[in-house]
Chains A and B, each alone.
Chain A
């Protein structure tokens, strides 16, 4: 094994940003089309997180513009990557001037041991997107930000130093603003392929509009079209709380770091203070179970004992399940409002009770929408931690559940206009692959989704049945009226006397049992 003091001269230390740049395909920056989509997505999600953290109804505008407009109108299919300018603007509270380089320009690695549900797929925010832009265009990044009640805002032009993971400020100036104005605008240039990513990006906005119906989204495409989604509800979901880690699902490295950071001087205090839902009695029970001395100083544990401790943590079955307080479900109310963007006739959403997978709590929310503006046939909308999942639909556990549902049991057919909506929130979403586009077929997750959908279907089926009954009743009345008016007419002319069906089936509908 190599140790840190035995570097060979060929080996250079990589900064976090350099490592991510070299391995950017993992984060989705593998070709110009996908990179454009992922860049927009990362920045939009950054902005949404920023607004929600401050409990502000998000208002996010995105402008994507071709750098070289003369290219337009050429052969669309053969055109390759182009340079675009991407502008993302939000109404968050803005960034303090001194924080700008750090927040925007540096890739942060966390040192706090907390679990909290957040959007970012990789916890890098938009930094990697900005980095990608700089790499492909060599152009600097411009940030304009302003805070409420401050007299002026700032405009900063900077670039990132990949090797040192440090921002380099090129220009900094004060700009005028009204006192109530606030928010942040980031603009930079990047290489992308709009033609091959157009559908994804537009789908992304449509789906995001469903999962964050309280946000206003605006997207101006390079083709000059404007997609605009106004907020349809003015309630934000409860924001997630930061929680200590749950003892299950902890590895030795993490244990070492936690022991290094703790101020507890006994194992008992360490267990109680560093983990969630561990009290004195559980800590004592656990230490008895693991065979470690409760009064021992955690910093004196050797490697072998740490492994023993880790195995004991995984094997002890009296820990309480992880707290769902670190989760922020979208809530059925918000989801139902979001699905109104598809203008269905009926919507039912259900939230399942929190459950646990590999030491991480998760909450499943399911919904079924029926009829109205929906297209015929089944469609599936998937969301994880309030971001849409757009690809690999058929591999996703949600799709498998939907495919195995027996709709006929609910009086529905596969050709009916039905939309299935699934939202999972968790401190660790059980994605199947590094691409993080779909959720794996985990038994406990599948079961929750299945029960959720079945619950929704029961109510939808009742609603549809009731509507069909009313329809049928009305149709029956119409037909009866038609038949009896026809009889009255026929009899009138055949018998040479006036026969009327009004007393029987009056024009106002009449009484039918």
Chain B
């Protein structure tokens, strides 16, 4: 891992950290109270467009005034946090959000900062991302070496070198494929031999597709999101899209899954300041309301398998109306409204309700993927 020390990205971040710490040090030395400005995550600072998803617009700045006690505490936390990032980066060691929280339990730090809840240190990291900026864009916490709960796998004929420095093919890295790097932007992609990448919300179905040999039959990559995708997974999807791989998303038919898809496609208001997390080219292949209720719906036959939406499902769908990336997206908005009307939801496991033998099931999956992706002009062999 010694490579990270010489990583040009790390040198850039270390330089930024030193500059911020130096400025604060000078200010304090001069007997002045430091004041730090940043752009918060208020809706004013975020724009939504269908083409780019959420982007921060830096409209209304917030200020941390060091004369105030609570702000002084925040600045102290910031200073301490940055020195910890600096040390970790210099040593080429990453830390989790939980690690960062425990770094505040060092006795002399605890005595001053009196932090008792991880949400406080999480907020500090979020603040660091907003304050440390490079060429007008936030530096993400992964670049500070703070990596938390990376998740997601990818299987398919793609050759990469990740932070381990080793060159590997994603179709020969184990039964699930490659465990996606915590810092996909620092992964080198050497070779791509797939026509599209399918990302499946549920790990069980993703594994089934791999087991049935679909990646080989269709020349596709299959990724498992493991529910709401982590920041690393979203960045990886974006990397593939940037390399002109069509991205197909397969999720449940539920208001929650619309959110999963919209996060992949448009990012979120909360993280609008972090670039490279949105993939506007991502396509929702299923499950859609048309599959069950459309005139030529491929899943009409198993419409009976749908379950009623719970109260919280309905509430979620109602709130979706206020989420720009769903309500202003014609496809997602339509899906959401139909679900609200029908008050029923479908799950990926519904395919099993056909009761087909496995050979037939594989054919169904292939037919489904081919048909649905062709709607987006994605041709699979």
Q: A residues bordering B, Cβ < 8 Å?
A: 476, 479-480, 482-484, 486-488, 490-491, 493-495, 497, 499-501, 503-504, 512
Contact = CB atoms under 8 A, between A and B. Distances in A.
A479 B24 contact: no
Nearest to B113: A486
Contacts of B76: 483-484, 486-487, 490
Given A490-B79, A494-B83, A495-B21, A479 B72 contact: yes
A308 to B, nearest CB: 78
A290 B86 CA distance: 102
Interface in B160-177: none
Interface stretch (B27-35, B130-138, B213-221): B27-35
- B contact residues, range: 20 to 34
A306 B254 CA distance: 98
B273 to A, nearest CB: 25
A493 B32 CA distance: 20
A480 B76 CA distance: 10
A317 B21 CA distance: 85
Contacts of B32: 504
A501 B69 CA distance: 15
Interface in B348-363: none
A491 B72 contact: no
B18 interface: yes
B44 interface: no
B75 interface: yes
Given A490-B80, A490-B83, A497 B25 contact: yes
Contacts of A486: 76, 80, 109, 112-113
Interface string B230-270: 00000000000000000000000000000000000000000
B33 A504 contact: yes
B169 to A, nearest CB: 42
A503 B29 contact: yes
Contact of A480 (B72, B79, B80, B87): B72
- The A interface, classified by DSSP as helix, strand, loop or mixed, is helix
B31 A504 contact: yes
B73 interface: yes
B31 A491 contact: no
B22 interface: yes
A481 to B, nearest CB: 10
Given A499-B25, A501-B28, A504-B31, A487 B75 contact: yes
Nearest to A500: B29
16 contacts: A476-B69, A479-B69, A483-B72, A483-B73, A484-B28, A484-B72, A486-B76, A486-B113, A490-B79, A495-B21, A495-B22, A499-B28, A499-B29, A503-B28, A503-B31, A504-B31
Given A486-B76, A504-B33, A491 B25 contact: yes
B21 A494 contact: yes
Contacts of A476: 69
Given A480-B69, A495-B18, A487 B31 contact: no
Interface string B318-352: 00000000000000000000000000000000000
Contact of B21 (A482, A491, A512): A491
B347 to A, nearest CB: 51
Contacts of A482: 112
A485 to B, nearest CB: 8
A279 to B, nearest CB: 69
A494 B31 contact: no
Nearest to A493: B83
A484 B24 CA distance: 11
Interface centre among A480, A488, A490, A499 (most CB of B within 10 A): A490
Contacts of B31: 503-504
A512 to B, nearest CB: 8
Nearest to A502: B31
Given A482-B112, A484-B28, A494-B83, 4 more contacts: A483-B72, A483-B75, A494-B82, A503-B29
Nearest to B76: A483
A189 B272 CA distance: 93
Nearest to B86: A494
Contacts of A480: 69, 72
Nearest to A476: B69
A439 to B, nearest CB: 49
B28 A491 contact: yes
B83 to A, nearest CB: 4
Contacts of B29: 499-500, 503
Contacts of B109: 486
A478 to B, nearest CB: 10
A487 to B, nearest CB: 5
A483 B75 CA distance: 9
A129 B21 CA distance: 84
A495 B72 contact: no
Contacts of A499: 25, 28-29
Given A482-B112, A494-B83, A494-B86, A487 B24 contact: yes
Interface centre among B24, B31, B32 (most CB of A within 10 A): B31
Nearest to B73: A483
A493 B82 CA distance: 12
Interface string B95-116: 0000000000000010011000
B71 to A, nearest CB: 9
A480 B72 CA distance: 7
Interface centre among B75, B80, B109 (most CB of A within 10 A): B80
A491 B33 contact: no
A66 to B, nearest CB: 59
Nearest to A481: B72
A497 B29 CA distance: 11
Interface string B3-18: 0000000000000001
Nearest to A494: B83
A288 to B, nearest CB: 77
Given A482-B112, A483-B72, A486-B112, A503 B30 contact: yes
B27 to A, nearest CB: 9
Nearest to B77: A483
B120 to A, nearest CB: 15
Contacts of B30: 503
A70 to B, nearest CB: 63
Given A483-B76, A490-B80, A503-B31, A495 B25 contact: yes
